[in-house]
Every structure is written in structure tokens, then in C-alpha cells.
Structure 1
């Protein structure tokens, strides 16, 4: 029985962490966001909504400065204040911002938003279990190995989600008559917009695919669709 104690503790830890993470995330987003009210963007989101055959797509402004978009576990779509400010300043077009919204809708439709929260909790539990087990057999470096392994797993899962959400967004943008070009042009701006220096890191260590690889994947889709 003692042999299984780390695993049982990890499972209990994962369940508790999942519940707590969902509660904390929803509380944080609700406290720091308001629904977006921009007539220029509404015309574009209305086109997305029509393509999805829904009445509307509510988008919220999350009051933080880093440029980002995100999908909450409960299905809400958020654009950060920093990202919206780039649009207001003319650094990002409405079509480009709508491609972000379409991408986040992809995360919701494909179940990524909710699964990521579960994965996050599960990965923490796996890390805890591995640390306890490896720590017994490989003192000092065992916990480091456990952390590295779970980080690599998380990065790979996240990159796959991004490709899938990109493909969903491309299909939705094409159906809505907005097109994939806005998606690709935004990718070319992302490093500058986010002041990202991650491009020097190996792709397999990054939680998002490299920009050029994402663009290449979209171009393959366009070729397959004959766009």
C-alpha cells in the first residue's frame, strides 16, 4: 500500500488543484474584465457569429497590459487591454484582432480551454509524484528531472493545441469572408507586439510553435482548400 501512496496523493492533489484553479481563474477574469463595446469590431464578430450560426460572440477586455488573447474554462473570450490598445493605435487591424478572437473560439470549440486547466492540474500532480519517487532513487537531481519532464510534456501539448486552434480559426475566417491573410499578417507582427525573445529557444521547449511554422501550416491549409 505504501508504494501507491505517492500516486494517491498526486491524484488527490490534482483534483484539489483543478477545482481551485478554475475558481481562481474565473474570479480573476470576472473582477478585471468588461464586455467589449466597439462598433468596428462588432461588425467583424457579427460575421463570425453568422458563420457559426449563433446570435453573437461576446468578447471581454481583460484589464492587463501584456498583449494576449485567451479563452476561459467557461467559454468566455478575452482580449487584453494591451492588445486592444494596439488596435486603437492602428498597430493591429480589426481583421487581425478578429483572427485572435477566432483562434480563441477554436480553443473553446475544441475543448482546449477546459482541458488545459485539467492538464495543468494533472501535470502538477505528475510533477509532485515524480519528485517523490525520483527523489528516493536519485537524490538532489531527481526533483529537477521530474520538473523538466513535465515541462516538456506541457509544451508539446500546448503547441499541438495552438496548431489545432489556428486551423479552426482559418476555416472560420474563410467562411466569414475575412480570410486567412489577416491571421498570417498578425503572426508576422507578434514578436514585435509582444517583445518576444523566445525565438532563440528550441521549438520543442516553447509552449507556442514558431511563427514561421504556424504561417507555413496555414499556407498548407490554403493550398489544400484551393484558396
Structure 2
């Protein structure tokens, strides 16, 4: 029983972290968000809704200045105020913003958003449990090794999720008759934002694959789908 204690404690800790993280995120999003109601975006949102066969696509604005978008564990889709401001300034087109929304819808549809919340809590639990076990055998660097193992595992899962959501967004954009070009152009524009000296990296890119890798994957899917339909 004593041997199982660290594992049981880690599982209990992970569950508690999941519940707390979900509650805290919902409270924060509820307090700092409002519904997106821009007439200039209604056309692309209706196109996405028709492609999904739903009455409407609901998007909220999260009042933070970073350029980002997210899918919450409860299925809601958000763009940040920073992302929306780029659209209002004409730096991002309606179709390009639609590709971002389609990507986040992909995270919801594929179960990524809920799993990420569980992963975030679970990785803390795993790190704690693994550190407790390794510290018995490697007292000094055991916790550090545990952290590196969990980081590599979660980074791989995150990259896979992004490529899957990109593919979902491409298919949705094609079905909505918006095309894949805006999706690729969106990545190029966001990539340029990080290329300016001294510019802050948008949160969109944190722990995400490189833009060129994502564009190449999108084009590979496009070529495959065209070939299959030929």
C-alpha cells in the first residue's frame, strides 16, 4: 500500500487540479468576454454555420490584447481583442479570421479542448508522482527528469492536435466555399508579426508547430483531396 501512495496522491491531485482549473477558466472567460457581433463578419459566420448544419456559429471576444484564439473545454470558441483589432484595422480579412474560428471549432469537434484541460491537470499530477518516485532513486535530478519527460510528451500531443485542427479547418473552409487560401495566408501574416525585431510573439505560436510546417501540411491535404476527387 505504501508503494501505491505516491500514485494515489498524484491521481487525487490531478483530479483536484482539473476541477479547479475548469472552474477558474470558466470564471475568467465569463468575466472578461462578450459576444462577437460584427455585421462585417456575419457572412463568413453564416457560411461556416451552413457547412456545419447548425443554426449559427457563436464566437466570443476575450478581452485581452494578445493575438490569439482559443476553444474552451465547455465548447465555446473565443478570439481575443487583439485578434479582433487586427481585423478591424484591415490587417486580417473576414475569411482569414474565419479560418481561425474554423480551427478552434476543430479543437472542439475533435475533443482537443476538453482533453487539454485534463492534460494540463494530469501532467501536473504525473510530474508530481513521477518526481516522487524518481527522487527515491535519483535524489538531486529526479524531479528535473520528471519535468522533462512530461514536457516532451505534452509537446508532442499539442503538435498533433494543431495539425488535426488545421486539417479540420481546411475541410470546413472548403465546405463553406471560403477556400483554403485564407487559412494559409493567415499563417503567413502571423509569421510576419514575429519577424519584426523586438516584436512580441503572439500567443498563437506558443507550443505550436512552425507556420511553414502547417502550411505544407495544409497543402499536402489539399493535393490529396483534389487527387481523390479527380
Post-superposition offset of 1:93: 0.8
Please list, as runs of the form range in 1=range in 2, the aligned pairs for 1:37-186 lying within 5 A after superposition.
37-186=37-186
- Give the structure 1 partner of residue 24 of structure 2: 24
What is the CA–CA distance in structure 1 between the aligned matches of 2:221 and 2:121, rounded to whole Å? 33
RMSD: 1.4
- Give the structure 2 partner of residue 9 of structure 1: 9
Q: Secondary structure at the match of 1:225?
A: helix
What is the CA–CA distance in structure 1 between the aligned matches of 2:84 and 2:156, rounded to whole Å? 29
What is the CA–CA distance in structure 1 between the aligned matches of 2:85 and 2:76, rounded to whole Å? 20
Post-superposition offset of 1:196: 5.9
Stretches of 4+ aligned residues off by more than 4 angstroms: 194-198
Q: Which runs of 5+ in 2 are unaligned?
A: none
What is the CA–CA distance in structure 1 between the aligned matches of 2:42 and 2:148, rounded to whole Å? 43
What is the CA–CA distance in structure 1 between the aligned matches of 2:185 and 2:191, rounded to whole Å? 12
Query: Does the 8 Å contact 2:193/2:201 carry over to 1?
Result: no
- TM-score, normalised relative to structure 2: 0.92
- Measured against aligned partners, the alpha-carbon deviations of 1:104-135 in whole angstroms (never above 9, x if no partner) come to 00000000010110111111100000111111
Query: Does the 8 Å contact 1:36/1:60 carry over to 2?
Result: yes
Query: Does the 8 Å contact 2:130/2:146 carry over to 1?
Result: yes
The alignment covers a number of residue pairs equal to 220
Post-superposition offset of 1:191: 2.6
What is the CA–CA distance in structure 2 between the aligned matches of 1:72 and 1:188, rounded to whole Å? 25
Q: Secondary structure at the match of 2:61?
A: strand
Post-superposition offset of 1:137: 1.1
Query: Does the 8 Å contact 2:49/2:56 carry over to 1?
Result: yes
Q: Which runs of 5+ in 1 are unaligned?
A: 199-205
What is the CA–CA distance in structure 1 between the aligned matches of 2:104 and 2:24, rounded to whole Å? 20
Query: Does the 8 Å contact 1:154/1:207 carry over to 2?
Result: no
Q: Secondary structure at the match of 2:4?
A: helix
Q: Secondary structure at the match of 1:60?
A: strand
Post-superposition offset of 1:136: 1.5
Q: Secondary structure at the match of 1:2?
A: coil
What is the CA–CA distance in structure 2 between the aligned matches of 1:152 and 1:80, rounded to whole Å? 28
Post-superposition offset of 1:207: 2.2
